[in-house]
Amino acid sequence: MRPLFIILSLLWLAGCSIEPWVKPYERAHLADPIMSFSRDPVADSYINHVHEAREGARGAGVASGGGCGCN
């Protein structure tokens, strides 16, 4: 456990000096709204609620809601 923690911490600190392989000026496509995992939070939250209210599984969805509304 401890060696793994040390390795992760070193990786973390090393990360501060990593040269990004995709430069900021090369990210125009990634910044396009169609590349967002959740472009419209209200609509995504609703469809996530539709699934969670009717499925045994829960969590790790694109967005999350609350309450029950599932009788």
Partner 1 sequence: MVPKHRPWRLLARAGRLLLPALLLGWSLGLRSAILPADRADALYHAYDGGGVQVNGPSILVRKSIGTSVSASYNYYVDNVSSASVDVLSYASPYTEQRTEQSVNVDYLHGKSTMNLSYTNSDESDYVSDTYSFTLSQDLFGDLTTVALGYSVSDNTVGRNNRKTGTTQIVGTARVQGWRLNVSQILSKNSLLGFTFDTISDEGYLNNPYRSVRYLDSGSGTGFSYQTEVYPNTRTSNAGALRLRYYLPWRAAVSAGYRLFSDTWGIRARTWELGYTQTWRDRWTFEARYRLYDQTKADFYSDLFPYRDAQNFLARDKELSTYTSRNLGLGVTYHFLKNGWGFIDDGTANLFYDMINFDYQDFRNIPAGGLAGQEPLYSFDAGVIRAFLSIWY
> What is the binding site for partner 1 (CB under 8 A)?
1, 4-5, 8-9, 12, 15-16, 18-22, 24, 26-27, 29-30, 32, 34-35, 37, 40-43, 45-47, 50-51, 54-62, 65-71
What is the rounded CA–CA span in Å between residue 39 and residue 28? 16
User: Minimum Å distance from CB 6 to partner 1?
Assistant: 10
User: Minimum Å distance from CB 33 to partner 1?
Assistant: 8
Selection from 13, 69, 59, 45 nearest residue 5 by Cα: 13
User: Minimum Å distance from CB 42 to partner 1?
Assistant: 4
Helix (H) or strand (E) holding 13: helix 2-15
What is the rounded CA–CA span in Å between residue 46 and residue 43? 5
